Chain A
Amino acid sequence: MEAKLSKASRALNASPIQEISHLAQRCGAINLAEGFPDFPAPPHVKHAAVAAIAADLNQYRHVQGICDLLAVKMKQNHVLDFDPLTDFVICCGQSEAFAATILATIDQGDEVLIFDPAYETYESCIILAGGIPVYVPLDPPYWTLNVDKFMRSFTGRTKAVVLNSYSPHNPTGKVFSKEELEVIAAACCQMDCLAITDEVYEYITFDTHKHLSIASLPMMKERTIITSSLSKTFSVTGWRIGWACAPTAIASAIRNIHIKVTDSAPAPFQEAALAALQSPPEYFSSLKADYVAKRNFLIKMLSEVGFQVHNKPQGSVFIFAELPKTCLLSDIDFVKELIEKAGVAAVPGRGFFHGDCNDQTQQSRYVRFAFCKSNDTLSAADQKMRSCVGK
């Protein structure tokens, strides 16, 4: 009966992250693997959702107000003009926004460039749309853009480039610099490709770094599709409210796909999104401040137990650390031991590398830690790590 599966779905594999999660659960480990918070969502947002349910806003709906607010934010944050009536598509999470974008723009045989390391969801999506994912390796240890490799990855069939700065799919937390974005933008214009961005961590950026969307660079707005969501900004990853923002014709195509895939995002949470998106500036600044503190705490802990943290993440909630030089285990074995002995779970880095674009031994030297956890959790993890690692 396996023959009954579509060829495409047979090409996909089970997620290594899920397996580690199950092991972690069984051992009752502190979970620094999965990228969702263990602290509560902001009260004003939860209240809005509760009020919506109670007010009978529970049937299929499209809440235009979300698009209006997003258009305002695009103008404020990126000086970009989008039409709230036509340029936004509200989806079930950034996951669906991305899937709908791919299904709307990628045809059989189209190539899509993805920067490596990257998590597998992008690849699966592209394959199922009949496309061909092409990995462009970033150069360790700082994960810089290798312009030569990048330009050589383009062919006549390249349709799009996926930009996963700040995304959970980019485990390194690296953010492309303005210069790198300009190179990517110039290439997109010259080769007439689309840029599909995943900006779910747009409000979780650190130090002096301000989130820069490639769409704001010259000539990029007409060829960029921005996807994002409420999930990380408002700690409601389980609500499934996301969106795609694109030039009208492309947005219309994405909307057509979305309507056939899920038809509508959960109605009460769309209402709550209105409250969320109208949060005062203090909310966003304290969100940043909290996460910076958590990041610094975790970096300190990891460095002190022997990890090599080359790259201080400038955005997102992950640290991609290289195993201590003295450690001879592979990433998977190390993570398993860490779960069993120290009771702390993380993600082995090899799942993020593809092909032989990077040195094989290099690929098994990284571990990803998440710091989107409460301070108590991080302190507990700190204690456990110190007692077991780096002896």
Chain B
Amino acid sequence: MLVWWRRRQTGPRVGPGRVAPARWHACAVSDSPAYLTPPPSPNHEMLSSFCFCRSATRRLSYPSAARMAAVSTASEAKEPQQPSPVLHIGHMNVENDAVFTTPSILFTRATVITPTGSKTLYAVWALLRPYGTAWPMLKSYSTVAKRLDKFKTTIFTQMSMLAVKHGAINLGQGFPNFDGPDFVKEAAIQAIRDGKNQYARGCGVPDLNSAIVDRFHKDTGLHIDPEKEVTVTSGCTEAIAATMLGLINPGDEVILFAPFYDSYEATLSMADAKIKVITLRPPDFAVSVDELKSAVSKNTRAILINTPHNPTGKMFTRAELEQIASLCIENDVLVFADEVYDKLAFEAEHISIASLPGMYERTVTMNSLGKTFSLTGWKIGWAIAPPHLTWGLRQAHSFLTFSTSTPMQWAASVALRAPDTYYEELKRDYLAKKAILVEGLKAAGFIVYPSSGTYFVMVDHTPFGCENDIDFCEYLIKEVGVVAIPTSVFYLNPEEGKNLVRFTFCKDEETLRAAVERMKERLHKS
């Protein structure tokens, strides 16, 4: 079977004998050699579809898929004219991952008459490599899976590197520069000494599962089954990945609220979902009911909410959650609730959407140890969901990491049984830190948006005259010596975030004061 390719887009001429970068589309197939000039030499082989699979949908990557697409359009082609002889020795650049140099590519051109007019098709020949077929030349360039197309270098790494270079105070990264409580660390040490170092049960050490259940009951009033409704994961990050991969089918529609934590978009694209975004806007980042109603439909599979919300510090109100709940029940939609900051709720009461009537059976509630106990590197998280949803996410979890760090799980079960005084003190400490930061940011000239929860604060940087958030953050690092995170990365459309940056106050008071001083001294309004 021979596949014919049509060039969809002509590029500029780049010189004699050189073909400009083009997009190629598989569009016809023939199996009669009469349509095709014999191969240029016995050493030439007809290329199949590999690198030329950049059709409009970017999904054709395999010979069979290309053939199917080709066959469907072949019916259009009537008797093609006798193709002209081999006429082009060219350098073909088919996007970044398949580049061929002359003279190994030859093409034969033919004109095909179709009902809609004539098309010019190319048959492409590659010179066989000495030890094998022409395929290696193509395949080696498309080794990496398509799901990575959307992955970008994380902004956090870039900013961190700049920060180190300039000795800047880092209020960008969302993890503390102080450590967790001793009683939890000692529990982990004891577990290691007691030999609790082998595989834990995949869904979690029973002691931890019941501690999670007890805590959840205290927080929401719901009774859940530790064996069937709780799954322990390597951090909330893995809970999110397992939920997406276990419960989302390719093509499913999922709604996100922008700005959003960067792993949501990445894991949804891994699951090949269709993302719909509802933007939360300053000053109060409230959910627009109209936008919500028009976004949710019978095609929606799930909505992802993060409350308290990173990066805005917003907490979803009861009214907003009830709106979301009623739409979900009406349209049979799941909710994935990321609640890692639930214990850092300052200005409002944290409400778990799973506790609203009719919602538990369709909600996955995710949380972790790291933020509440300042042990972000331990990677202990969990997902709470009704049995039928738990089953799906456990399947994904079992191949993603199989089981979670054993000694830390034992320590986590001790942590979660901490008395209320621990949480009260945690809140008091963070409120004090927040006061230092917020006062300082206001004094320095930022427009500060109120943050009800998490340890983040969003501010508008435009008083200082920078074009966009990334420029401002670079300026802040280099000239002022403080790191913030540009929030455009948290939006699907970066334009929406260009006026905003995020600061964190999960740092000790001395660090916060020092950062605030630098900003007051060195930031100049324009």
Residues in chain A within 8 A of chain B (CB atoms): 1-2, 4-10, 12, 15, 18, 34, 36-38, 40-41, 46, 49-50, 53-54, 56-61, 92-93, 95-96, 99, 103-110, 121, 124-125, 128-130, 156-157, 189-192, 194, 223, 235-240, 249-250, 253, 256-257, 259-269
Contact B135 A192 (CB under 8 A): yes
Question: Which residue of chain B is the closest to A121 with respect to CB atoms?
Answer: B399
Contact A49 B192 (CB under 8 A): yes
Contacts of B271 in A (CB 8 A): 6
Contact B396 A253 (CB under 8 A): no
A93 to B397 alpha-carbon distance, docked (Å): 13
- Size band of the B side of the interface? 35 or more
Contact A93 B401 (CB under 8 A): yes
A46 to B48 alpha-carbon distance, docked (Å): 55
Interface segment out of the listed B82-90, B175-183, B449-457:
B175-183
Question: Which residue of chain B is the closest to A22 with respect to CB atoms?
Answer: B201
Contact B132 A236 (CB under 8 A): no
Q: List 5 A-B contacts (CB under 8 A).
A: A41-B197, A103-B270, A105-B143, A192-B139, A235-B197
A8 to B403 alpha-carbon distance, docked (Å): 20
Of the residues A103, A121, A261, contact of B238 by C-beta under 8 Å? A261
Of the residues B139, B377, B392, B403, contact of A267 by C-beta under 8 Å? B377
Contact A237 B197 (CB under 8 A): yes
Contact with A along B126-144 (1 / 0, CB 8 A): 0000011001100110011
Q: Is B63 an interface residue (CB 8 A)?
A: yes
Shortest C-beta distance, A278 to chain B (Å), equals 19
Shortest C-beta distance, B116 to chain A (Å), equals 30
Q: Is B406 an interface residue (CB 8 A)?
A: yes
Contacts of A95 in B (CB 8 A): 399-403
A18 to B200 alpha-carbon distance, docked (Å): 12
Contact A260 B267 (CB under 8 A): yes
Contacts of A192 in B (CB 8 A): 132, 135-136, 139-140
Given A6-B248, A6-B271, A95-B400: A261 in contact with B375 (beta carbons within 8 A): no
Contacts of A223 in B (CB 8 A): 140
Shortest C-beta distance, B428 to chain A (Å), equals 22
A214 to B135 alpha-carbon distance, docked (Å): 22
Q: Is B493 an interface residue (CB 8 A)?
A: no
Given A238-B406, A265-B379: A125 in contact with B234 (beta carbons within 8 A): no
Contact A264 B361 (CB under 8 A): no
Contacts of A96 in B (CB 8 A): 234, 400-402
Contact A260 B401 (CB under 8 A): no
Shortest C-beta distance, B496 to chain A (Å), equals 22
A61 to B176 alpha-carbon distance, docked (Å): 12
Contacts of B61 in A (CB 8 A): 107-109
Of the residues B144, B270, B404, contact of A105 by C-beta under 8 Å? B144
Contact A58 B378 (CB under 8 A): yes
Contacts of A8 in B (CB 8 A): 245, 249
A80 to B301 alpha-carbon distance, docked (Å): 47
Shortest C-beta distance, B186 to chain A (Å), equals 9
Contacts of A110 in B (CB 8 A): 62
Residues in chain B within 8 A of chain A (CB atoms): 48, 61-65, 131-132, 135-136, 139-140, 143-148, 151, 154, 175-177, 179-180, 185, 188-189, 192-193, 195-200, 202, 234-235, 237-238, 241, 245-250, 263, 266-267, 270-272, 301, 334, 361-362, 374-379, 386, 388-389, 391-392, 395-396, 398-408
A145 to B106 alpha-carbon distance, docked (Å): 40
Of the residues B139, B175, B247, B395, contact of A4 by C-beta under 8 Å? B247
Contacts of B62 in A (CB 8 A): 109-110, 156-157
Shortest C-beta distance, B179 to chain A (Å), equals 4
A1 to B362 alpha-carbon distance, docked (Å): 9
Shortest C-beta distance, A41 to chain B (Å), equals 5
Given A189-B132, A260-B267: A128 in contact with B147 (beta carbons within 8 A): no
Contacts of A4 in B (CB 8 A): 247, 301, 334, 362, 388-389, 392
A18 to B395 alpha-carbon distance, docked (Å): 13
A266 to B376 alpha-carbon distance, docked (Å): 9
Shortest C-beta distance, B487 to chain A (Å), equals 19
Contact B395 A269 (CB under 8 A): no
Shortest C-beta distance, A119 to chain B (Å), equals 11
Shortest C-beta distance, B227 to chain A (Å), equals 11
Contact A41 B195 (CB under 8 A): yes
A99 to B267 alpha-carbon distance, docked (Å): 14
Shortest C-beta distance, B211 to chain A (Å), equals 18
Question: Which residue of chain B is the closest to A270 with respect to CB atoms?
Answer: B377
A93 to B398 alpha-carbon distance, docked (Å): 12
Shortest C-beta distance, B289 to chain A (Å), equals 25
A353 to B175 alpha-carbon distance, docked (Å): 46
Contact A36 B198 (CB under 8 A): yes
Shortest C-beta distance, B142 to chain A (Å), equals 9
Question: Which residue of chain A is the closest to B176 with respect to CB atoms?
Answer: A59
A257 to B154 alpha-carbon distance, docked (Å): 12
Given A96-B400, A240-B234: A266 in contact with B378 (beta carbons within 8 A): yes
Question: Which residue of chain B is the closest to A109 with respect to CB atoms?
Answer: B62
Contacts of B361 in A (CB 8 A): 1
Given A9-B395, A192-B136: A263 in contact with B237 (beta carbons within 8 A): yes
Contact B147 A107 (CB under 8 A): yes
Contact A46 B179 (CB under 8 A): no
A189 to B406 alpha-carbon distance, docked (Å): 41
Given A37-B198, A263-B235: A269 in contact with B405 (beta carbons within 8 A): yes
Of the residues A54, A104, A129, A157, contact of B185 by C-beta under 8 Å? A54
With A6-B271, A128-B399, A235-B197 known, 6 other A-B pairs at CB within 8 A are: A99-B400, A238-B199, A260-B151, A262-B379, A262-B400, A263-B235
A32 to B386 alpha-carbon distance, docked (Å): 34
Contact A36 B334 (CB under 8 A): no
Contact B197 A46 (CB under 8 A): yes
Contacts of B375 in A (CB 8 A): 58-59
Contacts of A260 in B (CB 8 A): 151, 237, 241, 263, 266-267, 270
Of the residues B188, B386, B391, contact of A53 by C-beta under 8 Å? B188
Of the residues B148, B196, B247, contact of A104 by C-beta under 8 Å? B148
